[in-house]
């Protein structure tokens, strides 16, 4: 399929707007199955209008978009209805079949790659993930910052991207995100380690639409500088990435609804994210899921001050890597091979050893509506310090 020359730029402009974000980041309200259906229809109508007015789509393109959006939306809505009927097995089967029907793994392949970029000697520095724990101990062992050991699987709780009893490694894209996930506590007993993947990862990305522009360039293929068709090839690739994202937009929407009853035992907003995690567990070609933190309200921060769009330069996503093979005890052999990690570091240690030449980019909002350089915060300094530490192989 070919698209108009303005397809990529037009969609990026659309996704950049706060208007689409407001229409997608609904807080669940009322009878959830009906709410989901109405929400998806709202976004579909809004997006269809944009495609017609801004991208000059042909009727063929519009029909294809509507067909694909409808197919995934219907599968999601019916899955939730079956779940509400107590037909959990049928709901799971239908959800899996829906993703297979839209060739999900092939569709996301173009923007699921996570590469870790290092220097010529392979020394990775700035990319990677972080994990935090609270403890009064002077220093924690590496395994204490890994996933819940198999013999303690009974402690695995239900969260948006977790299954009761299934250990998983939860990581944050930045020290700031880890801190936010703990509801901004005192940092006195906070211990953090950095995790570096040892190969290219394949991750399902539940991306915020207004951050879509920031990530498309990271997937560009490596082309020769003197290639006369370099610009055209890059643009074609960007268009392909954009429409792959568009193809899974109903799934993105279904995964980001804010909970109506945050303290409830059953949260219907978790149905689709948990089924997606089960799908990933059964797909060896997918390592994990990247999803936005619900504790960081970037939309409100940016809406209050458009200049705060710079807040999006700090990684405010979480990552979950579920175990794929059961073991009687200990830790996942596969996940141990997948990552190297630093020693755990506390703020006390960081404050003693921190140097003033921290080189770390981005801004964060510690006070609503006010962006400040990340490197000027204690969190940013700790992240800089972790970036300097060597990593070691995990052998527990």
Q: What is the per-residue pLDDT across 294-325, written as a single tens digit (0 to 9) for each?
A: 777 666 555 555 444 445 567 889 999 999 99
| DSSP codes, 235-253 | HHHHHHHHHHHHHTHHHHH
Least confident range from 45-59, 113-127, 153-167, 344-358: namely 113-127
Distance CA 278, CA 92 (A): 9
The pLDDT of residue 300 is 58
Q: At residue 254, does pLDDT exceed 90? A: yes
| Mean pLDDT in residue range 32-45 | 91
pLDDT band at residue 247, thresholds of 50, 70 and 90? confident
Kindly list the distances between the CA atom of residue 183 and the CA atoms of 80, 186, 295, in Å, as whole numbers in the listed order: 30, 10, 7
The mean pLDDT value for 124-136 works out to: 78
Q: How many CB atoms lie within 10 A of CB 260?
A: 15
> Rounded to whole angstroms, what are the CA distances from 44 to 21, 68, 101, 250, 374?
13, 11, 20, 9, 37
**Which segment of 93-102, 107-116, 295-304 scores lowest on mean pLDDT?**
295-304
Decide which of 186 and 75 is more confident: 75
Give me the residues paired with residue 329 across strands. none
Q: What are phi and psi of 68, to 5 degrees?
A: -65, -45
d(CA 277, CA 272): 9
Model confidence at 270: pLDDT above 90: yes
- Tell me, what's the pLDDT at 350? 55
**Residue predicted with more confidence, 242 or 151:** 151
Residue 123: predicted pLDDT: 41
Residue 245's pLDDT is 82
Cα gap 94→269, rounded to integer Å: 18
pLDDT of residue 298: 65
The pLDDT value recorded for residue 116 is 56
* Burial status of residue 314 (CB atoms within 10 A of its CB: 0-12, 13-18, 19 or more): buried
pLDDT value of position 108: 85
- Which stretch of 48-52, 247-251, 302-306, 371-375 has the lowest confidence by average pLDDT? 302-306
| pTM greater than 0.75 | yes
Domain segments of the chain as ranges: 7-102+207-255, 129-198+319-393
**What is the model's pLDDT at position 224?**
61
pLDDT score for 208: 79
**Among the listed ranges 134-148, 220-234, 307-321, which one has the minimum average pLDDT value?**
220-234
- Cα 184 to Cα 189: distance, rounded to the nearest angstrom: 12
Tell me which range, 81-90, 250-259, 386-395, is most confidently predicted by mean pLDDT: 81-90
pLDDT of residue 42: 85
Summarize pLDDT for 145-182 with one digit per residue, the tens. 999 999 999 999 889 999 999 999 999 999 989 998 88
What pLDDT is recorded for position 183? 83
- pLDDT (mean) for 74-89: 98
Cα(305)–Cα(303) distance, rounded to whole angstroms?
5
- 49's CB contacts (< 8 A; 6+ apart) are none
Q: What is the pLDDT of residues 344-394, one digit of tens each?
A: 988 765 554 554 555 565 666 555 556 677 777 888 888 888 988 999 999
What local confidence, expressed as pLDDT, does residue 317 receive?
Answer: 92
**Which helix (H) or strand (E) element contains residue 288?**
strand 288-292
Instruction: Determine the 3-state secondary structure of 163 from DSSP.
Output: coil
């Amino acid at each position: 399929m070919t698209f108009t020359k303005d397809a990529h730029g037009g969609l990026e402009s659309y996704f950049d707007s706060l208007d689409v974000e407001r229409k997608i980041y609904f807080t669940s309200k009322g009878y959830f199955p009906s709410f989901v259906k109405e929400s998806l229809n709202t976004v579909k109508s809004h997006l269809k209008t944009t495609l017609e007015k801004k991208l000059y789509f042909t009727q063929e393109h519009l029909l294809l978009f509507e067909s694909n959006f409808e197919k995934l939306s219907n599968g999601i809505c019916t899955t939730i209805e079956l779940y509400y009927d107590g037909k959990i097995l049928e709901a799971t089967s239908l959800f899996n079949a829906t993703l297979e029907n839209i060739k999900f793994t092939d569709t996301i392949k173009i923007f699921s790659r996570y590469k870790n970029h290092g220097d010529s000697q392979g020394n990775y520095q700035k990319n990677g993930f972080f994990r935090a724990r609270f403890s009064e101990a002077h220093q924690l062992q590496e395994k204490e910052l890994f996933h819940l050991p198999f013999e303690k699987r009974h402690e695995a709780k239900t969260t948006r991207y977790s299954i009761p009893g299934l250990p998983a490694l939860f990581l944050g894209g930045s020290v700031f995100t880890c801190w936010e996930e703990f509801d901004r506590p005192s940092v006195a007993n906070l211990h953090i380690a950095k995790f570096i993947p040892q190969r290219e990862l394949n991750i399902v990305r539940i991306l915020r639409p207004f951050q879509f522009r920031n990530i498309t360039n990271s997937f560009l293929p490596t082309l020769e500088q003197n290639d006369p068709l370099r610009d055209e090839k890059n643009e074609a690739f960007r268009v392909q990435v954009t429409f792959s994202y568009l193809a899974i937009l109903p799934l993105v929407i279904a995964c980001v609804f804010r909970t109506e009853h945050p303290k409830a035992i059953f949260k219907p907003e978790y149905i689709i994210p948990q089924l997606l995690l089960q799908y990933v567990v059964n797909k060896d070609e997918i390592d994990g899921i990247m999803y936005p933190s619900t504790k960081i309200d970037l939309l409100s921060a940016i809406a209050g001050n458009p200049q705060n769009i710079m807040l999006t330069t700090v990684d405010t996503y979480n990552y979950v890597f579920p175990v794929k093979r059961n073991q009687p005890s200990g830790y996942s052999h596969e996940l141990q091979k997948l990552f190297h990690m630093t020693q755990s570091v506390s703020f006390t240690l960081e404050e003693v050893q921190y140097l003033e030449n921290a080189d770390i980019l981005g801004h964060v909002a510690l006070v609503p509506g006010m962006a400040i350089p990340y490197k000027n915060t204690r969190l940013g300094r700790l992240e800089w310090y972790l970036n300097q530490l060597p990593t070691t192989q995990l052998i527990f």
